Amino acid sequence: MTASARLTPVEIISKPKPAYTAEGRAKKLEGEVVLEVQFTAAGDARVLRMVRGLGAGLDETAVAAAQGIRFRPATRDGETVDSTAVVHILFQLAN
């Protein structure tokens, strides 16, 4: 039997500001796009699947925003490892 592994979480350094699309603005679409994202050991944010979408081009900008998240990968016993999280991309208008 081995001692329990020492884990450090993913550290988010910066997140881009998601852009509204002209179509989304015109249709006054609001809500959130929910994505399952893998923060890889190599430092890439990979979108595994879309849990919930909004349409009007906002899904695409949400994916682009998620991929633009900068982070330090999680570690297990000092080694970088993949880690998965649910990412909510919020879109709201001042109606």
Partner 1 sequence: MKKLVVASLLALPMFAQTSNAVVDRLLDRIVEREKVFLDAAKKRTPVIETYIQESPNAAPADERPTKDHYFLGRFRLGESLIYETLIERSDAPPQKGRQKSRPMMFLPRGFAQMAVIDLQDFNRQTYSFEYVRREFLGEVRCLVFDVQPRNRTQAGKFVGRIWVEDHDNSIVRFNGTYVDAPAQKGTTPERYFHFDSWRVNVGAAMWVPAQIYVEEEGAAGEGGKAGAPRFKAQTRIWDYAATPSNKLDELTGILIDGGSAVKDQEASKDVSPLESQRSWERQAEENLLARLEKGGLVAPPGPVDDVLNTVVNNLIVSANLNVEAHCRVMLTTPIETFSIGHTIVISRGLIDVLPDEASLAMVLADELSHIALGHRTPTQFAFNNQTMLSDADLLQKFHFQRTPDEMASAGKKTIEIMKASPYQKTANAGLFLKEMASRGSALPRLLQANLGNQFANADALNRLAAFAASAPALEENRIEQIAALPLGSRVKVNPWNNQAVLVKTRPISLLSAREKMPFEITPFALYLTRIEPVPAETAHTGQ
Q: Give me the residues that bind partner 1 (CB under 8 A), please.
A: 9-20, 25-26, 28, 39, 65-66, 69, 74, 83-95
Q: How far is the CB of 95 from partner 1 (least distance, A)?
A: 7
Strands 31-39 and 74-76: unpaired
Q: How far is the CB of 55 from partner 1 (least distance, A)?
A: 15
Of the two residues 1 and 34, which places its CB atom closer to partner 1 in the complex? 34
Task: Dihedral sign for Cα 33, 39, 44, 49, please.
Answer: negative
- What angle (nearest 5°) sits at the alpha carbon of residue 24, between those of residues 17 and 49? 65
Of the two residues 42 and 64, which places its CB atom closer to partner 1 in the complex? 64
3-class secondary-structure state, position 52? strand
Q: How far is the CB of 71 from partner 1 (least distance, A)?
A: 8
